[in-house]
Amino acid sequence: SPRPHGPGAYRPERYAEDLVAWIEREAGGRPVDLLGHSHGGMVAALVAADRPDLVRSLVLLATPAYGGDAAEAEAEAFQQARRAEPAVAAALAALAAQGDDYPPDDAALGRLVADVIPLWVGPMTSAVRAWQARLARWPANTDALRHFNEEVFPRLDAVMERAADVVRPTLVIAGTWTAGPVPATWRASPGPSPAARPKSSPGPGTCATPMPPRPSRRRSGGSWTASP
């Protein structure tokens, strides 16, 4: 589909509308199991809150519970605590060199995203480094990043309060290397869903993509549980 335009084109609510339309078209309106990673988890949570008839269960992987100054301060403290790691030090240097300006084009942003991967993914295994190298070759959406930073992130608390309305079985997963203890932030968020079961997995970071599969999920008592 064409890249969206306009000030509201990148709102989580707009993405949620698109996801509802996709589920209705592809699944015929039957309930589905939703997995949302990072800020895609916000979209999945909104859909589960607004349209429980379309969602059978919800898994949120490294999804933030709030944003704004508190989340930014937590992320910075976490990164500074790891700055002795060579990969993290290099990522912090790349971020400092970029300054407050956005990269000049989408290709440059893709390279910057790859450079700063160690700030929120760890440990830097050979698989993660290979994934990082692939990311450096992919352009990123500068417009989407700008809109998220300036419009979505400051009001993330209000967006994620909607998660309190989720009634479907929900599993919230984060690795202990995640930039901010995601399960803890869900417990402390203004309106954590009573259906949510937080789970921390020792070792990996926010992205499951480069991690080896672990067949450890099971359903128990109406809620999702998992073990690392």
Query: Which of 47-61, 90-104, 159-173 is least confident?
Result: 159-173
* Separation of alpha carbons 173 and 117, rounded Å: 19
Look at residues 46, 12, 39 and name the one whose alpha carbon lies nearest to residue 166.
46
> Looking at residue 189, what is its pLDDT?
47
Q: Give the pLDDT mean for 81-95.
A: 92
> Looking at residue 111, what is its pLDDT?
96
pLDDT surpassing 90 at residue 106:
yes
**In the chain, % of residues over pLDDT 70:** 72
202 burial level (CB within 10 Å; 0-12, 13-18, 19+): exposed
> Looking at residue 2, what is its pLDDT?
54
pLDDT surpassing 80 at residue 122:
no
pLDDT surpassing 60 at residue 187:
no
* Separation of alpha carbons 147 and 13, rounded Å: 13
Q: Give the pLDDT mean for 205-210.
A: 43
Between 11 and 202, the higher pLDDT residue: 11
Q: What are phi and psi of 36, to 5 degrees?
A: -120, 130
User: CB of 45 within 8 A of CB of 36?
Assistant: yes
**What is the pTM (predicted TM-score) of this model?**
0.74
- When the candidates are 3.90.1300.10, 2.60.40.10, 3.40.50.1820, 3.50.50.60, the CATH number that belongs to 12-67+158-226 is 3.40.50.1820
The tens digit of pLDDT for each residue in 32-80 reads: 999 998 888 889 999 999 999 999 999 888 787 777 787 788 778 878 8
Q: What are phi and psi of 140, to 5 degrees?
A: -115, 165
pLDDT surpassing 60 at residue 185:
no
pLDDT surpassing 60 at residue 200:
no
- Residues with Cβ within 8 Å of 150's Cβ and at least 6 positions away in sequence, in order, are none
For residue 153, the 8-state DSSP code is G
> Looking at residue 154, what is its pLDDT?
82
State whether residue 89 is helix, strand or coil. helix
- Residue 120: which pLDDT band, with cuts at 50, 70 and 90? confident
Highest mean pLDDT out of 49-53, 150-154, 193-197: 49-53
Query: Where do the domains of the chain lie?
Result: 12-67+158-226, 69-148
Q: What is the mean pLDDT of the chain?
A: 76
> Looking at residue 192, what is its pLDDT?
46
